[in-house]
Each structure stands twice: as C-alpha cells, then as structure tokens.
Structure 1
Amino acid sequence: MDKPYKIPESVLVVIHTADLQVLLIERADRPGYWQSVTGSLDAPDEPLLTTATRELFEETGIVADGEKIVLRDWQLSNIYEIYPVWRHRYAPGVTQNTEHVFSVEVPRDIPILLSPREHVNHVWLPYLEAADKCFSPSNAEAVLLLPRQAAARH
C-alpha cells in the first residue's frame, strides 16, 4: 500500500524554559539540520492543538497535560515553500505549506526522549543562539519572537 501524501499544513512547536533556553533537535535524515518540533496534520480536520500535542510527544516524549505543561497557540501562521528534497512527500504540484506556531514552556531538567527515526540529537541553547542554528527561516523567526510571546503571557 502506498503511503498517503502529507497534508501541506503543519505545526511548529518552540520548546523553551522560563529563562528562554530553547530545545533544538537534529534531523536523522539531514545531519546538521536543527529545528524545533514540527509535524503535519494527520487528517484535514485534525485540530491544530491535537497535532501540536501529538508531535511534541512523538518527537520529544514531552506530554502537554494542559496543567503543568501547556501548549500556547500563537495565532501565527507562516506560508513557505516546501524544500525540494521533501516535495515527494506531498501530492504532485504541492509546493507550499502553511505552518501554525505554538510554544511550550518546560522545566530545564525535563527528560527528552527522541524518536530515533526522526531525530538523533538535542541541545538546549539561549534563544539567540538557537535562532542562528535553525535551518528553517520560519523556525528561526519564531525563536526570535519568543521573548515577546513569553512577556505577553505574564
């Protein structure tokens, strides 16, 4: 059975601590490509919060329980060109993806359990260094917006 095409709508989850240390994870299929948690909707009607919660757990083992670990929807979307190397995952002719930005504040000592088929390493960095290390421009921009988003929450 052929694998279904990816839906060109996804979430980006910036994981950070109270002092704006950002968790980045390194892609297994592209060594040196560092990013925040990302993932596409499983179904066109899947709620974005459900996608973000699922991807956060699948990629890091972090459970957003809605009490201690709370995902925040930034109400911000980016439309970007899908990298040619990954376009085969989408239906023919699909070249753009809509990405919805979330964040989650976690304790610095939270255990990180990577999915080895997706990611091979992780690192905590101050947000400016993290932004510089992100391979995706929209991911870097989200990390740079983190101080403003964090301040708006308090």
Structure 2
Amino acid sequence: MACVNPNEIMTPIADEFAPARVVASETMYEGLVWDVRRDSVDLGHEVVQRDLVDHPGAVAVIALDEEDRLVLIQQYRHPTRMREWEVPAGLLDVPDEPALLAAQRELAEEADLHADSWAVLLDYATSPGFTNETIRIFLARGIRPVPEEERHERTGEERDMPVRWVSLDEARDAVLAGRLHNPHTVIAILAAHAMRERGWRDLRPADEPWALRQALRDAASRAGSA
C-alpha cells in the first residue's frame, strides 16, 4: 500500500498555474477567430514542440426562470454536423469587454432575454491538451424579455434558431442519457443542478476577476513575442 502524507490530505485539490518557458513560437495558421501556434517549450529536461489553438475565450449563460426552467437554443455546428441544443454562449472577441457584459450581451442577442441577477457558476478550460480556451459560465435569474424594438437581428447559424424552455431536472436527464453533447451546456446543466442541491450557497460574484483567463492571455502574449 502506498504511503499517504497526511499533510497532502489536508490540502484542497487545485490545479497549479506553472507555465513552462517558451523559447520560440511560430504562428502556423492565422484564422478568423483563433490561431494555431507552434511553441518550443523548455520542460527542464528537454525542449519539445507543441501545437496549440490560441483562443480568446468565451462565456456561457444558464438562465433560469422562477420554475427552474432553463432556456436552450438550437444551433447548427458544422464540425460535428449537428443541430445542438445549447445554453446561450459567445466568444470574448470584443477587445477589453468584461466577461459579465459579454454574457449579458449574448443572452440578449441569442435568446432575447435580460436578467436582473447574475453570478459566476464556474470556470473551466475546454480542452487543455490542445487549446488555451477557457469558458466562464454565468447563472442568470430574474429573467425578462428584451423589448421587441431592441432585439438583435441574427445572421448565419443564429438565424431562426429554435428556443425551448426545459426544466433543470429534464435537462440533467438528457445529459446523463447522452442526448446533449455541447460541452459548456453539459457542464452548465450538471453544475447548476448540483448547485441547486447546495441551496445556491457557493455562487461567486458576477464580477469576480477571472484569474485563469488573464494568466493564459498573458502567457500567450509572452509566447507570441518569444
């Protein structure tokens, strides 16, 4: 049996931000939203090359009404060739726009909704093996419609998106049955369901600094100048 250090048991488990030194960096592909970068990374014992998708990050919103129903929109996603049911979400592609304002904008543009109450539900990195994309998921309550004359004109995949209100329990069951596949939607639903079981007592302020995303953007900037 392995020996367990009792001090380690007392330490809360948490990821550690500890960037390795980038000795060289090259942009292999410059895209409309994200780039593909090749970094030469000094691991201490050797230098390796790693390709990554340099992503600006995104926000998502799980909006609940007074009956604990959440709003879902159905959008075509070409890489998976599916029309996915998703919570409202969008890229952080407006320079210097705070994450909360981006989330409020996306909820209004994609679901024609405003919310009076906002909180951070959770933050996560979508796929650390190949991208630095991070997503902040907000919980929005006190839902009210955007006035008709103020509604956003949608284009592309967002045009004529179906909208559906689903109970949080039904959404959880759909996730566990494998009927929903969008990652931020899956995570948001399960997290909201778990948080409701805790009486919503561990929600974070909506304007809490997003340390992970800032650290990753700073690291990307340094790599780009390597």
1:35 corresponds to: 86
1:13 corresponds to: 61
Distance apart, 1:35 and its partner CA: 0.3
Distance apart, 1:152 and its partner CA: 1.9
1:97 corresponds to: 133
Distance apart, 1:128 and its partner CA: 3.2
Distance apart, 1:34 and its partner CA: 0.7
2: CA distance, partners of 1:99 / 1:17:
23
Amino acid at match of 2:59: V
Distance apart, 1:148 and its partner CA: 4.0
What are the within-5 Å matches in structure 2 for residues 1-154 of structure 1?
4-6=32-34, 7-29=55-77, 31-64=82-115, 69-74=116-121, 76-81=122-127, 95-107=131-143, 110=145, 115=154, 117=156, 118=158, 120-131=161-172, 132=174, 133-150=179-196, 151-152=199-200
2:37 corresponds to: none
2:19 corresponds to: none
2: CA distance, partners of 1:11 / 1:96:
14
SS at 1:81's partner residue?
coil
Distance apart, 1:31 and its partner CA: 5.0
2:27 corresponds to: none
Indicate the percent of aligned positions where both proteins have the same amino acid: 25
Distance apart, 1:22 and its partner CA: 1.4
CA RMSD, Structure 1 to Structure 2 (Å): 3.2
Distance apart, 1:60 and its partner CA: 1.3
Contiguous gaps of at least 5 residues in structure 2: 1-30, 35-54, 204-226
Distance apart, 1:81 and its partner CA: 3.2
After the TM superposition, which segments of 4 or more aligned residues of structure 1 sit over 6 Å from their partners? 111-114
Bigger CA radius of gyration: 2
1: CA distance, partners of 2:95 / 2:195:
28
- For residues 22-70 of structure 1, give each alpha carbon's deviation from its aligned partner in whole angstroms, at most 9, with x where no partner exists: 1110004555311001111123532111111111111112123xxxx22
Count how many residue pairs are aligned between Structure 1 and Structure 2. Answer: 136
CA contact (8 A) 2:111 2:163 kept: no
Amino acid at match of 1:138: H
2: CA distance, partners of 1:130 / 1:106:
20
TM-score using structure 2 length:
0.50
2:219 corresponds to: none
Relative contact order higher in (CA < 8 Å, ≥ 6 apart): 1
1: CA distance, partners of 2:193 / 2:171:
13
TM-score using structure 1 length:
0.69
